[in-house]
Amino acid sequence: MTFEPLRSPAGTHDVLWPQSARWERIIGDFADRARLYGYKLLITPVIEDARLFSRGFGDASDVVGKEMYVFEDRGGRTLALRPEGTASVVRAYIQHRPATPWKVWYLTPAFRYERPQAGRYRQHHQIGVEALGVDSPEQDAEIIDLAMGTIRAAGLSDIELLVNSMGCEVCRPVYEGVLRAFLAENVHAMCDYHREHWSEVPLRVLDCKTGECRAVTDSAPRISEHLCDACMTAFDTVQTELQVLGITYTLEHRLVRGFDYYTRTTFEIISHSLNASQNAVGGGGRYNGLSEILSGPPTPGIGFGIGLERLLVACDSEGAVEWHDPGVDVYIAELGRDTEVSLLAHQLRNAGYSVERSYENKSLKAQLRYAGRLGARIALIIGDREIAEREVILKPLVSKDEQFTVGWDRVIQETGRWLEKWKKQ
């Protein structure tokens, strides 16, 4: 019996080269950049106890209520595929109690059962950082600086930084009361969904992207006008710091983000080249109460996550495709078989040169054609005569120079000399 070939599940995708080369470049840049800001790599499991997320985000959040992949394992435990990175980092912090400040970066797949469309997937990938143990507006601005630097380095420029403060356990409930009273007066003008559900979490109405709700929330009371003195001072300092760092921003009083754990500074970086309903390339904020919600010690925290797929879609729609195939340094064309060829390839690679070979004894013409497709800069041609004479024919492929013969013991040196010469031109 034959079966239909299987495909990747809806909302997931394979990343093949050359797309994967763009991922590699962004991730590599982020790892370097995070190190400069003092972050160390953290790796945590993709599966977690499902209660981590229901406690951390609040049962009323869309991620927990509608989007989480939850399953029972063979031992009867209720596990979830991680929908984001922050809760796992805080769980790891509580479990291991590293000294604070604890600053980590991560690269993780994230799973959300959403309706798949361009820029929204059921498995997406985030690069992010979390800093635990310090509650300082200077750190908030520094984290925003890191997020902006990462996004700009990927090639995006048509972006906007939105910032807001979510207040704290003192001032937020007061504001929620004011907002609730305002929304109660405007229920009739809300979107179908929020006419029914607005009172469950009034703050979510601020996040709603429908024209109806946006018209209502345009004139809603603003949280910035209800911050307590401590939150107000912190938010003012964040803004001063951003100005000093030369980072332009827009105050967006409706930026409440999708998780209940946020306190004080929240931010999002949107791309104007993406469809407005999912134009956030990255987002984050402070979550000073999350450790306690998860039964850990009181520990302030802040971080962000950048969606890699979103970032690349935005780069494509801005035309900011900043990547070229670096090609291969050396192609070994072998016309006969000898173990010496394997040794030469090994030595060249260990000397730092990328090497490809055919493994099959195809014609020289076919092999050189393949070398061209790989973008090889040099071909080393080795036939029976060369092996007997302990020689190699070095054929420059990126210049019109004539090919010539080199003694086996000088191949690596000569290869390096030619590559260096072209680099300088």
- The contact pattern for ligand HAM, residues 343-382, with x = CB under 6 A and - = no contact, is ----------------------------------------
Q: Out of 86, 186, 271, 288, point to the residue binding ligand HAM (CB under 6 A).
A: 86
Q: Is 312 in the site for ligand HAM (CB under 6 A)?
A: no
CB of 282 to ligand HAM, least distance (A): 5
What minimum distance in Å lies between the beta carbon of 59 and ligand HAM?
A: 17
Contact with ligand HAM (CB under 6 A): which of 23, 57, 102, 304? 304
Q: Which is nearer to ligand HAM, 167 or 305 (CB)?
A: 305
Integer CA distances (angstroms), 59 to 42, 160, 260, 287, in order: 27, 31, 9, 17
Which residues have C-beta within 8 Å of that of residue 219, sequence separation ≥ 6?
none
Range in contact with ligand HAM (rule: CB under 6 A) among 172-180, 275-283, 370-378, 388-396:
275-283
Partner residues linked to 267 by β-bridges: 163, 284
How many other C-beta atoms are found inside a 10 Å radius of the C-beta of residue 190? 21
Per the omega criterion (within 30 degrees of 0), is the bond before 101 cis?
yes
300 binds ligand HAM (CB under 6 A): no
We find the least distance from the C-beta atom of residue 191 to ligand HAM, in angstroms, to be: 21
Q: Is 155 left (phi over 0), alpha (psi -120 to 50) or beta?
A: left
**Residue appearing with tokens 């990938």:** 125
Minimum distance from CB of 374 to ligand HAM (Å)? 33
Nearest to ligand HAM of 129, 227 (CB atom): 129
Does residue 88 interact with ligand HAM by CB under 6 A?
A: no
- Binding segment toward ligand HAM, per CB under 6 A, in 84-92, 150-158, 347-355, 385-393: 84-92
Q: Which two tokens stand for residue 139?
A: 């750190």
Contacts of 271 by beta carbon, 8 Å cutoff, 6+ apart: 156, 158, 159, 279, 281, 310, 314, 317, 318
Using CB under 6 A, pick the residue from 137, 155, 167, 258 that binds ligand HAM: 258
Q: Which is nearer to ligand HAM, 112 or 264 (CB)?
A: 112
- Judged by CB under 6 A, the residue of 305, 379, 382, 395 near ligand HAM is 305
Q: Of the ranges 80-88, 148-156, 168-176, 244-252, which one interacts with ligand HAM (CB under 6 A)?
A: 80-88
Considering the rule CB under 6 A, would residue 56 count as an interface residue with ligand HAM? no
Closest Cα to residue 123, out of 62, 65, 180, 69? 69
The reply to whether 161 sits near ligand HAM by the rule CB under 6 A is no
Residue 310 CB, shortest distance to ligand HAM, in Å, is 4
137, 202, 282, 300: which one binds ligand HAM (CB under 6 A): 282
Footprint of ligand HAM on residues 106-145 (CB under 6 A)?
112, 114, 120-121, 124, 126, 128, 130
Report d(CA 216, CA 238) in Å as an integer.
28
Per CB under 6 A, the segment of 35-43, 144-152, 226-234, 283-291 that binds ligand HAM is 283-291
Q: State the minimum distance, in angstroms, from the CB of residue 289 to ligand HAM.
A: 13
The least CB distance from residue 119 to ligand HAM, in Å, is: 6
> CA-to-CA distance for 392 and 63, rounded, in angstroms?
61
CB of 285 to ligand HAM, least distance (A): 6
309 lies in the site for ligand HAM, by CB under 6 A: yes
Which C-beta is closer to ligand HAM: that of 41 or that of 366?
41
Q: Does 288 bind ligand HAM (CB under 6 A)?
A: no
Q: Which residue is nearest to ligand HAM (CB)?
A: 307
Count the site residues for ligand HAM by CB under 6 A. 24
* Residues in contact with ligand HAM by the rule CB under 6 A: 84-86, 112, 114, 120-121, 124, 126, 128, 130, 258, 280-285, 303-305, 307, 309-310
